[in-house]
Amino acid sequence: MTNQEMLANVAKNANFSDSRVVAIKKLTNQNILFDLAINSDDFYVALAAVEKLTDQKMLADVVKNAPFIYLKSSSQHRSVRITALDKLTDQKMLADVVKNAKGTTWSTIKDERVAAVEKLIDQKILIDIAENHKDKWVRKAAVEKLTDLKVLTMIMNGSEEKYVYTWTESGSYEVDSYGENSRTYNDTYTIDLREIARERLADLK
């Protein structure tokens, strides 16, 4: 058994999370690290593995396929997927994440597709996302990064059907710590990509 295999055995099977993390920090085998990042249900183990990954395709696969496990604290919310995304620099891999990642509905964790758009600089990729992606928040992030004046003008003058999203969110929330009183809400929201394009044009001129 090689040293890497022994470390991998500790990383996968040790009883204590701290011991597994220590072993991971000594691992260099990218395939083993990828397996731990994707398959571990321990946040600290998965995070340690991601932090040692350097292979761009593997990092993209973690963003797309890792279980949605995260650490919530008073100061921050850390997602394994977003940690992998932070290490992605390859434009094609970032575009692949935007197209194929699952996304998240958690308000305290940034959607990995939006985060990937924010790292994109390739205008052709951004234009395609702004025009064709199925998610409104992803399209909004892409429009905000466009620099092509002709494309921005086209979006600004486009149809409401293609560039305007309107939706309603409803529910209830407690207004006291005893749960005896609650209020309901029924709020309507709008994202107008045409207006965002207009603002972007003003910024660029």
Question: pLDDT tens across 114-139, in order?
Answer: 999 999 999 999 999 999 999 999 99
pLDDT at 169: 87
Q: Name the pLDDT band for 110 (thresholds 50, 70, 90).
A: confident
The rounded distance, in Å, linking the Cα atoms of 191 and 194 is: 9
On whether the CB atoms of residues 152 and 130 are closer than 8 A, the answer is no
Q: Where are the beta strands (DSSP E) in the chain?
A: 70-72, 77-79, 164-174, 182-192
User: Where is pLDDT greater, at 181 or 54?
Assistant: 54
pLDDT at 74: 41
pLDDT at 166: 96
Structure tokens belonging to residue 64: 């797309």
Highest mean pLDDT: which range of 69-78, 79-88, 166-175: 79-88
Q: Which of 105, 69, 99 is nearest to 84 (CA)?
A: 69
pLDDT digits over 28-45, tens only?
A: 999 999 999 999 888 889
Q: Name the pLDDT band for 76 (thresholds 50, 70, 90).
A: very low
pLDDT over 90 for what percent of the chain? 64
Average pLDDT, stretch 152-176? 91
pLDDT at 105: 62
